[in-house]
Amino acid sequence: MATITAWVQGARLRTLPNAVAPVVVGAGAAAELDAFSWLRSTLALIVALALIVGVNYANDYSDGVRGTDDDRVGPLRLVASGTAEAKSVLAAALSSFVLACVAGLALVILSGAWWLLAVGAACVGGAWFYTGGTRPYGYAGFGEIAVFVFFGLAAVLGTVYVQAGTVSLLALGSAVAVGAFSSAVLLANNLRDIPSDAEAGKRTLAVKLGDRHTRTLYLALIVLPFAVTIAMAFALPPVLLASVTALALLRPARTILSRATGRALIPVLADTGLALLLWAVVTGAVLAAA
C-alpha cells in the first residue's frame, strides 16, 4: 500500500506553479477590470490545481500500464515502481477530475456563461488524452501545444472571464507569457527524457526535434514572456517590474547551454516553474494595482 508521502510525490508538487500562476495573473487582470472576486478566483484555483494533479496521476497510470516508464529518470512513478496499484492511481486521477468539474460547474453557474462547459470539457479531455486513450497526443509531439492552450490561454483568460465577463489585451498578453513558461517546463522535462522516450516509442516534441533544437526552443520559450512584458508595458509601464524575474532563469539557461543531460536537468524544471510563479505574482500585483 502506498504511503501518503508516495502519493504526494506522485502528484508532482513541482508542477503546481503551472496551475497557480495562471490564476494569480488572471485574478490580477480581473482586478484591473474592477471585477475581482475572491470566491471565483478560489474556485478557478481549485479547478487548475485539480486538473494538474489529475493529469499527473493519469499520466502515471497510463504510462505505467503501458510499461513506458520503466527506465524513466525523474520523480517517483507510482504504477511503474509498483508503489501503488494501477486502479488506485486511476481512481486518484478520476477523483481529481471530478473535483475540477464540480468547481468548474460552480463557476459556470456563478458567471452564467454556459458555453464555458465546453471549455471545461475540453480541458478535462485534454488532461486525460495527454497520455490516455489509444492514441495519446502527448506521444505524438503535441504536449507543449496543449499546455500552452490549457494552462496558458484557457487558464488565464478563463479566470478573467468568469469574473469580468470579458478579457483585455493585458490579460491576453499575460496568457501568452504564462503559456510559454508552462510549455518550457514540459519541454525541459521531455528533453531530459529523450533517451527513454525514444526507446519506449514516445514521439514527444523533444524526440522529434532532437537534443540541439529542443534546447534552442526552450531558450526561445523563456525569452518570449519578457518580450510580451515589454509589449504590455506600452499600455501599463509598471509591468516592466516583472522583468526582474528573468534572474531566476539564469541558472536553468546555463544548464541548458551546458548540454547537461539526465538528472542534471531536473533542477531546470523547478527553476523554470519558480520563474513562472514569480512572473505571475509580480505581473498580477501590477495589474491589480493599476
For 229-251, write each residue's pLDDT tens digit. Answer: 999 999 999 999 999 999 999 99
What pLDDT is recorded for position 201? 86
79 within 8 A of 63, measured Cβ to Cβ: yes
Q: What pLDDT was estimated at residue 69?
A: 61
Largest CA distance in the chain: 56
Statement: residue 285 has pLDDT above 60 = yes
pLDDT at 11: 86
Average pLDDT, the chain: 94
3-state percent helix, strand, coil for the chain, nearest multiple of 5: 80, 0, 20
Q: Are 245 and 279 in contact (CB under 8 A)?
A: yes
Q: What is the pLDDT of residues 68-101, one digit of tens each?
A: 665 566 677 888 887 888 899 999 999 999 999 9
Residue 32 grid cell: 484591473
pLDDT band at 46 (very low <50, low <70, confident <90, very high): very high
State residue 85 phi and psi, 5-degree precision.
-70, 145
Task: Give the pLDDT band of residue 133 (cuts 50, 70, 90).
Answer: confident
Average pLDDT over residues 10-25: 93
Write down the pLDDT at residue 51.
97
Could you tell me how many residues make up the chain?
290
Q: How far apart are CA 122 and CA 168, in angstroms?
A: 23
Domain covering 168-290 in this structure, CATH number: 1.20.120
Q: Which of 32, 247, 279 is nearest to 175 (CA)?
A: 279
Instruction: Enter the pTM of the model.
Output: 0.94
The pLDDT value recorded for residue 71 is 58
Say what the pLDDT of residue 32 is: 97
The mean per-residue pLDDT over the stretch 267-276 comes to: 96
* Distance of alpha carbon 109 from alpha carbon 105, whole angstroms: 6
pLDDT at 67: 75
77/72 Cα distance (integer angstroms): 9
Using N-to-C axis directions, what is the helix angle for 169-192 and 266-289, rounded to 10°?
Answer: 170
Residue intervals in the chain for CATH 1.20.120: 168-290
